[in-house]
Amino acid sequence: MKDIVAIYPGSFDPVTNGHLDLIHRGSKLFDRLIVAIARNMDKGEPLFTMDERKEMLEAMTSELDNVTVDIFDGLLVHYCIQKNANAVLRGIRAVSDYEFELQMALMNRKMEPRVETVFMMPAEKYSYLSSRIVREIARLGGPLTGLVPEMVEERVRRKIAQKQSNVTTMHLKRRAKS
Ligand code: PNS
């Protein structure tokens, strides 16, 4: 039987417990799993740099021997071919994810029929969880317990505090100038 190499792509800004749940499931199903952070996303200003996201994902998956973390540019299907991957892993949380995921999977298949998309469902307790919601809750000072690993929670809090202090400094400088 041939080895199945799967790519789990996403923005992971930051990695959540839902992502980690899927990575664990994927690592059991595939021979190798590459968690691939997409660069140049049209998603506004990110919270973490690509390297910071990679570092957190690596720390969180270090005990999984068949999982590696990487950063990619450009089309996902090109990256799959470059890595000799035969599958793309995506998580579906609720029906609302389906339409976008279907469009992406079919478009990827049209561009590269050698790569199959495999959908998996994270545990129900993560079905409401997303990186965007984590960022929003953190910005507004809400609790992140159970949503992200402790180490990520700590990094998110530090990053938000740092960003808020940068904004305050900028306002003070502007006021001093005017
Ligand atoms: O974490 P996300 O935002 O759900 O991930 C979306 C991602 C990164 C998987 C998707 O935007 C992607 O594959 N980007 C790479 C560029 C690409 O191949 N676009 C065409 C998709 S049909």
- pLDDT tens digits for range 95-115: 999 999 999 999 999 999 999
The catalytic position among 39, 43, 114, 139 is 43
The span from the CA of 7 to the CA of 18, in Å, is 16
Would you tell me the crossing angle of helices 50-61 and 150-177 to the nearest 10 degrees?
160
Tens of pLDDT, residue by residue over 37-86, are 999 767 788 999 999 999 999 999 999 999 999 999 999 999 999 999 99
3-state SS class at 68: strand
Two tokens at 38? 């997409």
Cβ(10) – ligand 1 distance below 6 Å: yes
Contact yes or no for 143/157 (Cβ under 8 A):
no
| Ligand 1 atom closest to 111 (CA) | 22
- Among 11, 34, 71, the mutation site with the greatest number of ligand 1 atoms within 8 A of its Cβ is 11
Q: Tell me if residue 131 is catalytic.
A: yes
The catalytic position among 27, 32, 131, 135 is 131
**Residues forming beta bridges with residue 39, ordered by sequence position:** none
Query: What is the model's pLDDT at position 1?
Result: 63
